[in-house]
Amino acid sequence: MRIAVAGATGNIGALTVAALERGGHHVVRISRSLGVNLETGDGLDEALTGADAVVDVTNCGATDRAEAIAYFGTTTGNLLAAEQRAGVRHNVLLSIAGVDRVDGNAHYAGKREQERLVSEGPTPWTIVPATQFHDFAEMVASWTEQDGVAPIAPLLIQPIAPADVADILAELAVGEPRGRYADVAGPDPQDLVDMARRTHAARGHSVKLAPTWSTMFGPTMAGNVLLPAEGARIAPTTFEAWLATL
C-alpha cells in the first residue's frame, strides 16, 4: 500500500514510517521540513497522489487554547480536503486517551477539534486514543526546570512505549476503518513524579522535582482521569523495559 504519514519527522512519525516500511509499504513523508506545509496546504496534493491511507501524528506546541484549536482546525481541514481530492480511503488519527475528560488544557482542546473534524469529514476514519508516552515525564520536567528545580504535577498515567504506538498505527493503517478505536496504553499505571525521577537517574541528570498542581496540568487531571478506559488495548513494553534502553 501507499501510505502517507503526516508529522513524519517527529518521534512517533519516524517510528510509524519505519514500522510501515518493515511491512513492505511505500511511505510518503509529510512534513514542513520536507516541503509539505499542512498550514498552507502547499505540496499536499502532490504528496497524497495515489495514497491509500494517511496516518496523522501531527502535534502542536501551542499553550493558548484558541491558538491550538486554530492550528489543528487549519491543518486537519487542509489534510482532509486534500484526501478527498486524492481519493484517500482511510484516515488514521493519533489522539489522546481521556481527551474528553479534561477541561482547561489548550492541547486537549485542539485535539478535540481535530477529532471532530476527522469524525465528521469525508474520509473513512480510525481515531486511536493513546495514553502518554514513556518519555512524557522527562519532557514535562524539561519544560519547567529552572535553576535545578522542576515543578511537576503528580499525575497518574499508564504510559505506553512510542514504538508500541507506532506499531499499532501501522497495523491499523493497512486495515479497514474502525471508527473510534479502543484506548491504547502500556501495562502499568505510574506516578509522573516518580517517572521523572527514575528517568533522570537513568540519564544521570540531577534535578530537584517539586510536585505541584500550579503548572500547566491542574487538578482536573488528577485521579483516574488520564488512565485508559475499560477495554483498552494494552501494549507489551513496560516503563522499566523502556528505562533499560536509555
d(CA 131, CA 227): 7
The grid coordinates of residue 16 equal 510509524
List of the chain residues with pLDDT < 70: 215
pLDDT digits (tens, 9 = 90+) for 180-238: 999 999 999 999 999 999 999 999 999 999 999 976 788 888 999 999 999 999 999 99
**CA geometry: angle at 16 spanning 184 and 124, to 5°?**
70
Q: What is the percentage of the chain residues whose pLDDT exceeds 90?
A: 91
Q: Specify the 3-state DSSP secondary structure of 1.
A: coil
- By DSSP bridging, strand 156-157 and strand 190-191 are antiparallel
Can you give the CATH number for the domain in which 230 is found?
3.40.50.720
Domains contained in the chain, number: 1
Q: Which domain holds residue 80?
A: 2-243
